[in-house]
């Protein structure tokens, strides 16, 4: 239900756990979620009732801060609340967010979304009322007559997170923190930090973010020849059948999560786990009547008295997840009061939060079912290595070794390489002109195309270190059936797929069109022209930025007059910029750049396949055309000299 400011709604009586999602569209600004557990006097009982990035869980384990992640609409920060574990003396949980720089007014539309353990929407609040505030209370979850309710609040603080916390009774201590380099870089990665008995204990909570140190990576310098290779932590040699491959890759994942705690946090946060000490166990046996149920791994996260447990089912290579198997794990998890069942495979669902296998939803009332792809696991590893706060060189090496293992074909943790069993039939029907939008095979291939589009966004995110967004219409983000129907309808009408990728700090969106009828992949972007100077100067401004772009790049100019477009190759414009102007007096308002690439037709594989050709075209066009492009910035206004 969509709430207006001040409105409240009762949560269903059978809901025991909820996730709180705070969303915003601007990816360059980080919003940190926080929660305050308040008594009847609207104040915290003590400082431990303040849950945020420096204190990520309440002492009773009822409320947890799970960090932030990218979404189709921007970014979101996540909190988790176990309603059954909230102490009786806590009357409400205030749901807030804060920014360390900038204001909420610069973020545009903000959202608060309450979902149940199965991902079902319970309540949503949207607002664009924020202005100069640097901390914002989005809503609260509160008790009323023995039941839980949600209220949309929408109140801001100009004094930031520390000011908000102080107003609710938290004692804040934000003196500068001195961070000394440890005597030894070798630390036990899974151990909880234990303060020294001799260390003075400061009163109050520190809201400032702790500084971090970047480590020096481990290097090997004593080899006598370039042919010498260091020993690998995860070896691909000796991998035999698929079952052995699955065991080894699962074990590599779990052991890396145990050794590299930030990596474990990143993976577990996707599964709704709290921040805490991680442990993993391989192939644990459970009794299920006269049979045994053996998940590939059991995941445990503990912090204080709180313990979170997940059962993991992994598939590698072409292995497929099975409905019956997942449902048997859900039954075990429900009986043992575990939190989640996780499926991990090479399947990339068409939309975030969607599942590659549908199960009986009645089994999800007490236990959540979540899915991860191996591509997302690799994405988290790449992001941590390139853009994180890892401060232990040993952890950096372990994570790099794990990523090297995943990238090897023998690991079975393949990237997106298969268009599915209906691809050849649908491709041939498009060529023959016999495909119809309602064909079930076309709908299946349509979902696969959207999954490929998400894969392209993930790859670019990991490579560039910025969150690349696959742009979808709002109605298609919430309705997978409508989304697949729209993709299939276009495929039947003109034989093409289209994906739009939004990359921060670029001059325009990257549009990828795969045209089956012409066997071409077309990549294009549109950039606004300078708003000053002659048309020829505007063309010259563009060509100077495209010094390394291919000569056959097509450049289209859109003029202010209706129907005014001209198009030439970059090779022509380098020699004669006026060729694009064509004697027109109207000003150029934008340029569209497009390049065609050969399209592979095979269903799968790394050579001559459809997926490989789309991926290569996207990478090439971004690197040679989009990366050097910058939006026009006019000259600063000049001061007028007064005599």
Sequential DSSP letters for 207-255: -SPPP--PPPPP-----SSTT--PPPSS--TT--SHHHHHHHHHHHHHH
450 vs 345: CA distance, rounded Å: 17
DSSP string, 270-330: HTTPPSSEEEEEES--EEETTEEE--SEEEEEEETTEEEEEEEEE--TT----HHHHHHHH
Q: What's the 3-state SS for 15-68?
A: CCEEEEEEEECCCCCCEEEEEEEECCCCCECCHHHEEECCECECCCCCEEEEEE
404 and 439 belong to one structural domain: no
Decide if 201 is inside a domain: no
Return the pLDDT at 224.
Answer: 65
b/e burial code for range 275-313 (CB count within 10 A of at least 16 → b):
bbebebeeeeebeeeeeebebbbbbbbbbeebebbbbbb
CATH number of the domain residue 294 falls in:
3.40.91
255 burial type by CB count under 10 A (0-12 exposed, 13-18 middle, 19+ buried): middle
Return the pLDDT at 155.
Answer: 87
570 and 448 belong to one structural domain: yes
Mean pLDDT for back-to-back runs of 10 residues, the chain (643 residues): 87 87 78 91 91 86 80 77 90 90 79 81 84 88 91 87 89 60 39 41 66 62 71 74 84 94 88 86 85 91 83 88 91 92 84 77 87 88 79 89 88 79 93 92 91 87 80 80 92 94 90 95 94 89 92 92 85 92 84 94 79 92 92 74 66
Task: Give the end of a domain, one of 411, 433, 456.
Answer: 411
Secondary structure of residue 606 in the 3-state scheme: coil
Secondary structure of residue 1 in the 3-state scheme: coil
365 and 442 belong to one structural domain: no
- CB atoms < 10 A from the CB of 396, how many? 20
476 and 614 belong to one structural domain: yes
Contact between 79 and 19 (Cβ < 8 Å):
yes
> Any idea which residue has 């988790």 for tokens?
80
Decide if 183 is inside a domain: no
Predicted TM-score of the model (pTM)? 0.59
Secondary structure of residue 266 in the 3-state scheme: helix
Task: Give the end of a domain, one of 380, 411, 442.
Answer: 411
Nearest alpha carbon to residue 120 among 23, 17, 25, 33:
17
Contact between 20 and 80 (Cβ < 8 Å):
yes
DSSP bridge pairs for 44: 38
110 and 24 belong to one structural domain: yes
Decide if 246 is inside a domain: yes
Task: Give the end of a domain, one of 167, 191, 221.
Answer: 167
The total domain count for the chain is 3
Return the pLDDT at 389.
Answer: 66
Decide if 130 is inside a domain: yes
262 and 378 belong to one structural domain: yes
573 and 427 belong to one structural domain: yes
Decide if 184 is inside a domain: no
Q: Which two tokens stand for residue 432?
A: 């023959």
49 vs 90: CA distance, rounded Å: 10
449 and 586 belong to one structural domain: yes
Q: Which two tokens stand for residue 76?
A: 């979101």
Alpha helices in 467-602, H assignment, sequence order: 474-478, 480-494, 535-545, 570-575
DSSP string, 332-398: HHHHTT--EEEEEES---SSTT--SS---GGGGSSSEEEEEEHHHHHHHHHHHHHHS----HHHHHH
Decide if 496 is inside a domain: yes
Secondary structure of residue 97 in the 3-state scheme: strand
491 and 569 belong to one structural domain: yes
Instruction: Give the range of the structural domain holding residue 473, as residue numbers without chain letter.
Output: 423-626
Return the pLDDT at 619.
Answer: 92
36 and 116 belong to one structural domain: yes
Secondary structure of residue 561 in the 3-state scheme: coil
DSSP bridge pairs for 299: 280, 310
DSSP string, 449-483: HHHHHHHHHHHHHHHHSS--EEE--HHHHH-HHHH
29 and 163 belong to one structural domain: yes
302 and 427 belong to one structural domain: no
- CB atoms < 10 A from the CB of 36, how many? 27
Contact between 540 and 578 (Cβ < 8 Å):
no
């Amino acid at each position: 239900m969509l709430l207006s400011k001040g409105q409240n709604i009762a949560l269903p009586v059978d809901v025991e756990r909820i996730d709180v999602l705070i969303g915003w569209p601007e990816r360059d600004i980080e919003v940190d979620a926080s929660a305050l557990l308040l008594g009847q006097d609207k104040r915290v009982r003590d400082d431990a009732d303040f849950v945020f990035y420096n204190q990520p869980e309440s002492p009773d384990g009822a409320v947890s801060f799970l960090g932030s992640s990218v979404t189709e609409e921007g970014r979101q920060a996540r909190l988790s609340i176990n309603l059954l574990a909230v102490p009786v003396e806590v009357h409400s949980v205030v749901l807030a967010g804060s920014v360390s720089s900038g204001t909420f007014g610069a973020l545009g539309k903000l959202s608060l979304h309450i979902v149940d353990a199965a991902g079902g929407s319970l309540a949503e609040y949207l607002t664009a009322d924020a202005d100069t505030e640097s901390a914002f209370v989005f809503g609260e979850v509160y008790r009323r007559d023995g039941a839980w309710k949600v209220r949309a609040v929408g109140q801001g603080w100009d004094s930031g997170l520390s000011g908000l916390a102080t107003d609710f009774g938290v004692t804040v201590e934000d003196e500068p923190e001195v961070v000394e380099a440890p005597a030894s870089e070798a630390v036990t990665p899974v151990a909880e930090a234990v303060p020294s008995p001799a260390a003075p204990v400061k009163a109050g909570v520190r809201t400032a973010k702790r500084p971090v140190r970047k480590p020096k990576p481990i290097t090997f310098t004593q080899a006598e020849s370039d042919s010498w290779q260091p020993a690998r932590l995860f070896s691909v040699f000796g991998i035999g059948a698929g079952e052995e491959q699955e065991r080894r890759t699962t074990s590599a994942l779990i052991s890396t999560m145990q050794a590299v705690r930030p990596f474990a946090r990143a993976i577990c946060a996707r599964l709704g786990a709290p921040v805490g000490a991680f442990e993993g166990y391989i192939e644990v046996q459970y009794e299920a009547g006269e049979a045994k149920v053996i998940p590939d791994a059991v995941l445990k996260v503990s912090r204080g008295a709180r313990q979170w447990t997940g059962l993991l089912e992994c598939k590698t290579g072409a292995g497929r997840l099975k409905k019956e198997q997942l449902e048997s794990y859900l039954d075990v998890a429900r009986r043992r009061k575990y939190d989640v069942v996780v499926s991990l495979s090479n399947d990339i669902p068409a939309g975030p939060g969607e599942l590659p296998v549908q199960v009986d939803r009645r089994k999800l009332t007490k236990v959540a079912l979540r899915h991860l792809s191996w591509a997302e696991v690799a994405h988290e590893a790449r992001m941590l290595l390139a853009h994180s706060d890892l401060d232990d060189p040993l952890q950096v090496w372990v994570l790099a070794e794990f990523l090297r293992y995943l990238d090897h074909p023998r690991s079975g943790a393949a990237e997106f390489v298969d268009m599915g069993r209906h691809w050849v039939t649908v491709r041939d029907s498009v060529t023959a002109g016999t495909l119809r939008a309602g064909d079930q095979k076309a709908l299946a291939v349509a979902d696969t195309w959207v999954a490929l589009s998400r894969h392209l966004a993930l790859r670019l995110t990991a490579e560039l270190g910025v969150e690349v967004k696959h742009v979808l219409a709002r109605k298609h983000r919430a309705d997978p059936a409508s989304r697949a129907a729209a993709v299939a309808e276009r495929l039947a009408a003109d034989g093409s797929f289209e994906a739009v990728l939004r990359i921060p700090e670029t001059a325009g969106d990257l549009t990828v069109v795969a045209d089956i009828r012409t066997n071409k992949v077309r990549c294009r972007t549109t950039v606004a022209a300078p708003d000053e100077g002659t048309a020829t100067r505007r063309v010259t401004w563009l060509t100077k930025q495209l010094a390394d772009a291919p000569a056959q790049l097509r450049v289209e100019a859109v003029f202010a007059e209706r129907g005014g477009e001209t198009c030439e190759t970059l090779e022509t414009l380098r020699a004669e910029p006026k060729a694009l102007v064509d004697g027109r007096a109207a000003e150029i308002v934008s340029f569209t750049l497009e390049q065609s690439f050969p399209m592979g037709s095979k269903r799968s594989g790394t050579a001559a396949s459809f997926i490989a050709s789309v991926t290569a075209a996207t990478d090439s066009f971004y690197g040679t055309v989009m990366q050097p492009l910058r939006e026009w910035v006019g000259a600063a206004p000049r001061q007028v000299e007064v005599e």
